[in-house]
Amino acid sequence: MVARDIILHHYPRSPFAEKVRVAFGLKGLRWCSVEQPRMAPKPHLVPLTGGYRRIPVLQIGADIYCDTRLILAELERRFPDPPLYPYETRGRADMIAGWADQALFATSLGLVFGLNGDRFPSELHADRAAFTAGKFDGWDSEKMRPRVPSLRDQFRSHLMWIDCCLTEGGPFILGEKPSLADAAVYHPLWYVRGNLGEGEGLSDHPAVLAWMDRIAALGHGNGETMAPDAALDVARTAAPETVDDTASEWSIGTPLTVTPTDWGFDTVKGICLGANRERVVIRRDDPEVGVAAVHFPRIGFAVAAA
């Protein structure tokens, strides 16, 4: 295994990880799969990220990419062919992904927790209550149950939009070829189908189900299991790549904090290595893994001087 290999830190049932696995399939990539716990603590992940605990995280050597928006942008930069933006659709694909990752995901998750929350262990509920800091009813099934009828309505409206995209311009969300928009819209529906079957509206949309099967058929590329310790060794023995993004308000060397604005509000501290409109990169010197560069998207994160 060489240090430049693509390493994904994830767990099988994570919808956001499924978004990245679909992108691996679309691009036909070879990658290493490191399974992380689905709740805190994550002792084999936070030495890499400096405290960020959300899943998935992409690691390439000592470069650590947080959040699927940036993970997919980085995969596109390094492995452009076949593209995630097949028809100069960058703006449209990113806007659709923004809707899918927030509105469609929150509705889907609410439906699963509201209907099936009792099947999840109490430790997971406690973890997610802290993780969301009270937003989304703390993903508490008791509080979410009365919201199920309204969530069902929302979910059905979302399905109608997706169905229209496919029947008016398919076979994929933006047309003839699969794109980032497909990976983003797919993951919340994959989560609903996996947890609740097709009874919550999906069976009324054969075009959506057929599209889901087309996305599943893209596969996940070629993933090989890697031990969490081995991934830490990779970071320890590699040096981060040079960053050339310097067009931003933050000059190189400024101490910064980076914090998600939607959920999982853990702050990461580091020294600015570069930033632009799309991303911010900070350098950390970690006692376990040495120097690492942690990359975040600007969307969905608050950046401030430390």
Ligand X SMILES: N[C@@H](CCC(=O)N[C@@H](CS)C(=O)NCC(=O)O)C(=O)O
Binding site for ligand X (CB under 6 A): 14-16, 38-39, 53-55, 67-69, 101, 131, 264, 300
- Min dist CB 95 to ligand X, Å, is 15
CB atoms within 10 A of CB 238: 20
Our CB check for ligand X shows the closer of 55 and 280 to be 55
Our CB check for ligand X shows the closer of 63 and 166 to be 63
- Of 299, 294, 223, nearest in space to 20 by CA: 223
Instruction: Count helices and strands (H / E) in the chain.
Output: 11, 10
- Min dist CB 38 to ligand X, Å, is 5
- Min dist CB 206 to ligand X, Å, is 27
Our CB check for ligand X shows the closer of 96 and 166 to be 96
- Min dist CB 304 to ligand X, Å, is 19
- Of 273, 259, 274, nearest in space to 66 by CA: 259
Terminal CA-CA length for the chain? 37
Our CB check for ligand X shows the closer of 15 and 50 to be 15
Q: Per DSSP, what are the bridge partners of residue 59?
A: 7, 64
Is the CB of residue 218 less than 8 Å from the CB of residue 22? yes
C-alpha 46 chain-centroid distance: 16
Our CB check for ligand X shows the closer of 9 and 283 to be 9
